[in-house]
Structures are given as structure tokens and as C-alpha cells.
Structure 1
């Protein structure tokens, strides 16, 4: 049974997030650091980037590749966090890239029946939709941690969202108090790290709901989208 239009949209979006957004940005983070830096950890209770790369590889392999391709699950999850041998970054990226390539193939050919089917993964009984959603959500969480650690070490803007900078007309002054027109909720905004035109301007885009008018406490209305 071919995937329905909604299922096709779900699979295409899932693949785009993993392969076209998260993966290139994650790779650029790792490639900007030394092998020593990717194995740095702030304390024993926290993971290094190296451990997170091993963990992401294990998760994608288990939940997307092995489950849908009906392969033997040989994952050793505790080992992903216990590794301390400083495996080279290039090796970790090659491993994860290969796994993501296989995952991309899975997402490109899944059927409606496979999305509705039941799978037993990591001790859980889940549907195919659940498995795909879990991988994308899980990858996004640890991708964000890797971005944060990279910024913490390098101390610079990675530029991932520079092409999406809002126009000045969409920005509220730093520290301004806004009230949502559809509720009593008040918001205080300050964004010292936001940039417009390559310069700090201390302003951030205000959002509450699509095309909702916001009103400052001084009575001036502002519409944002």
C-alpha cells in the first residue's frame, strides 16, 4: 500500500529535517573543532560531542534502519556513553553519515502499511509513525546540545539562521513589554545576541500567533507575522 498524501508529507518532512537540516549543521559544528574538543565534557554527568555522535548513530541505526529493514539489533547503548578513547571526529562523522544515508533510503520508500505496523524496539512496542517521529525528535534534542557545546567552546555565532533574519519592522526594542491581543499574557523581550545587517541591535522578533496584533504598554499597536 503506497503512503497516503499525509504520510508522504510526514516522511518527506522527517527526511528533510534529518538529512538536509540537522546533519549538515551538525557536521559543520564537529568539523570546526579539534578531536580534543569534541571529547571535552564539563563534568562526568554530562556527555561530550563524541559521545553524542555515537549515541545518535546508535539510535538512528536501531530505530530506523534495523527496525524497518528487519535487521538484527546489535546496539550497545551504554557503550555510547561510556566511550572515552577519543575516537577521531572524522571516523565518527563517517559512521553517522553512513547510517543517515541508509536512514534516508528507508524514509524514501516506507509504505502506509509499514507506518501503521507494530514494531518492538528497545523494549518498546510502537507503530512505524512513532518510530520515525522518535528518531527526528531525539536527533533534534542532541543536535541542539552539540550546537550549544560548539558555541560554548568557540564563542561565536555559527550563522545557521543568518539567512532568516527578520526585517527591522518586525523587531521590538530590547526590554520592551508586549501584551498579546488574544490573551492577558505579557512578554518581555531582550536579545543581546541578535544581529541585523551584521551588527548588534539588541532587538528580537516578537511572535505569539500567526498574524496576531500585539500592543505595547504605551498603547502603540504592532502586527507581526
Structure 2
């Protein structure tokens, strides 16, 4: 998989994330939990942004971002405007960083042991794209349940 494909997938899904966040009829619903749903859309959005800032921005782009993962799930009532701003910023970081990676970089063994098996950088970046997609689907479901 080439970096251009990864860039397209990340940008596609980050744009869909913005649309989902903007589509909530009532901004307060971004932070509402319903029975059986353990994370609000707002917290999932913060988690996606934090995850990409950390793993792509810091680890591959040397941005210096310091992740505070606990806050991704404990912060509440961050405005929609700030969430959209953070999505836009991480989208630029992802694009800029991935453009610097060569095909050789993608085939290198990823330096951290995230899973039990060794993996290439390409595999890990693909994992990050599917992680984003997974949470995007949760946000879509959350919005549809609350905006009935």
C-alpha cells in the first residue's frame, strides 16, 4: 500500500468525522451516553485525534505532541468548533507526515510492540486507518440513536 492511498483513506474518514460531528442536531448530544453505549461521540472524536496525533504526528512526524489518553475519555463538553479545529489540524499532520515516508520506510519493522506479533510500519498505519473507521462507525450510530 502506498502512502498516497493511506493519505486518501485518512483524509476521507477524517472528513466524514467532521461531517458526523457537524450533523448532530443538538451539540450537547455529542456528550450524551445512552444505555449500552460506553463512549460519547465527543470522547471518541478526542480519542481519534489523540491517537493520530500521537502515532502519526509524534512517532513518524516528530511533532512533539504529548498524548494525554485519559483526557480523551474524561474531558466533556468540548465545543463542536474546537473538535472540528482539532480534526482539521490532525488531518494536515497526517498528510504532511505520510508524504515523508518512503516505500522502504513502510516495509521496516514498526519499532513498538503494539500487538503480539512483529509488524511493518505499513501494517501499523493500516491498523490506524481501520481504528479510525471503527470509531467513525460508532459515532455515526451514536448520532442516529440520539437524533431520532
Question: Which of 42, 67, 72 is equivalent to 1:50?
Answer: 42
Confirm whether residue 25 of structure 1 aligns to residue 12 of structure 2. no
Q: Secondary structure at the match of 1:46?
A: coil
Instruction: Report which of the two has the higher share of helix.
Output: 2
- C-alpha separation in 1, matches of 2:36 and 2:134: 20
Find the counterpart in structure 2 of residue 66 from structure 1: 58
- Asked if the contact 2:18/2:87 (under 8 Å) is kept, the reply is no
- C-alpha separation in 1, matches of 2:37 and 2:146: 18
Deviation at 1:59, TM superposition (A): 0.8
Alignment of 1:119-158 (within 5 A): 119-121=110-112, 124=114, 126-155=119-148
Q: Secondary structure at the match of 1:96?
A: helix
Deviation at 1:45, TM superposition (A): 6.2
Deviation digits for residues 28-62 of structure 1 (CA, Å, limit 9, x no counterpart): 22112232110111148610011001100011111
TM-score with structure 2 setting the length: 0.85
| Residue 69 to residue 126, structure 1, CA distance change in 2 (3 Å) | farther
- C-alpha separation in 2, matches of 1:70 and 1:119: 15
Q: Secondary structure at the match of 1:63?
A: helix
Find the counterpart in structure 2 of residue 111 from structure 1: 102
TM-score with structure 1 setting the length: 0.58
Greater relative CO (CA pairs within 8 A, separation 6+): 2
Tell me the matched-pair count: 144
List alignment gaps of at least 5 residues for structure 2: none
